[in-house]
Amino acid sequence: MTDVESPALFDTQVAARVQGEPYGELPRDLYIPPDALEVFLEAFEGPLDLLLYLIRRQNLDILDIPIAEITRQYMGYVELMKELRLELAAEYLVMAAMLAEIKSRMLLPRPPSTDEDSDIDPRAELIRRLQEYEQFKEAGRELDALPRVARDVFPAFAASPDLRVAAVPPAVGLDELLVAFGEVLERADMFTHHQIRRDSLSVRERMTETLSRLQSDDFLSLDELLDPEEGKAGVVVTFLAILELLKASLIELVQAEPYAPLYLRGDQGGLAGD
């Protein structure tokens, strides 16, 4: 190959090149196969689709199809297909034969018979197939209406930016640190565990102690029997012991007047009986 290209290679009059040879005009004996270029239009997808189109175009009842008129229109379309492309008419011819059979069965007189099969409409099977096809076609139309990737919606792709966040420590003074530390200590005290031990105080033992203190003939005031140093538990146990002794008639309770001090002593009669 030379360094300088031939000027003929860049001739604007050249229509095509075959094996490097320029051709200024197309050959007159050029043969183009019939299947070299195919153009598919959105028409009918089969014989059932054609029948459904003919029925819906004339607003006919699918349950009461006029077979004669539909067959005439159907055959007209089949003849047109034969002129355009014969190999596509095979399945349509099968449906045409089926329509002719149904038409002949409807024209022929029916012999009287009690058989239930004789009462079946010859169009029943065709009607069933048309109804099923219409349902599937409607379902396909609804599916096609759904958003489709690369047709209705397009995924977005974007590189994430380079985000470098520098962590800047907060400006905190010593006073703020001390306040925060004090709050932490206060919260820690709220979660401190402690154990409460229960003192073993017996009402029966306190009854014995109180009865021994009331053995003499002298009266003792209620305040002398209740010791505040023992706390609430000790006072309650002593008071319960006094009530139990009074219930058993082992001690006497005396009060000179309303709201006067209460005095207690051992029941001399009960003690003598014991």
**What is the model's pLDDT at position 272?**
44
**What is the model's pLDDT at position 169?**
83
**What is the DSSP-derived secondary structure letter of residue 3?**
S
Which of 199, 217, 193, 192 lies closest to 269 in space, CA to CA?
Answer: 217
The sign of the CA dihedral 90, 94, 99, 105 is positive
**What is the model's pLDDT at position 98?**
83
CATH for 230: 1.10.10.580
**What is the model's pLDDT at position 43?**
61
Q: Would residue 4 count as lying in a domain?
A: no
Q: Would residue 34 count as lying in a domain?
A: no
Q: Would residue 259 count as lying in a domain?
A: yes
Q: Would residue 65 count as lying in a domain?
A: yes
> What is the value of pTM for the model shown?
0.37
Q: Which residues of the chain have pLDDT under 70?
A: 1-19, 23-24, 26-43, 84-90, 110-119, 194, 198-199, 268-274
Verify that 66 and 140 share a domain, yes or no. Answer: yes
Which helix (DSSP H) or strand (DSSP E) does residue 224 occupy? helix 222-225
**CA pair distance 244, 76, nearest whole angstrom:** 120
Verify that 64 and 140 share a domain, yes or no. Answer: yes
For 64-99, write each residue's pLDDT tens digit: 788 888 888 888 887 777 776 555 556 777 888 888
Q: Would residue 221 count as lying in a domain?
A: yes
**CA pair distance 264, 225, nearest whole angstrom:** 9
Verify that 58 and 133 share a domain, yes or no. Answer: yes
Name the residue with tokens 């090149």.
17
Q: Which residues are CB-neighbours of 122 under 8 A, at least 6 positions away?
A: 101, 102, 105, 106
Domain hosting 263: range is: 203-273
Q: Would residue 77 count as lying in a domain?
A: yes
Q: Would residue 115 count as lying in a domain?
A: no
Name the amino acid, one letter, at 140.
G
Q: In what order do the strands lie in the sheet with 251-254?
A: 220-221, 263-266, 251-254
Q: CA–CA distance from 194 to each of 136, 184, 190, 232 (Å)?
A: 77, 19, 11, 20
Considering its fold, how many domains does the chain have in total?
Answer: 2
**What is the model's pLDDT at position 8?**
43
**What is the model's pLDDT at position 23?**
67
**What is the model's pLDDT at position 74?**
83
Verify that 51 and 128 share a domain, yes or no. Answer: yes
Q: Write out the two tokens for 156.
A: 């977005």
Q: Would residue 11 count as lying in a domain?
A: no
Verify that 58 and 137 share a domain, yes or no. Answer: yes
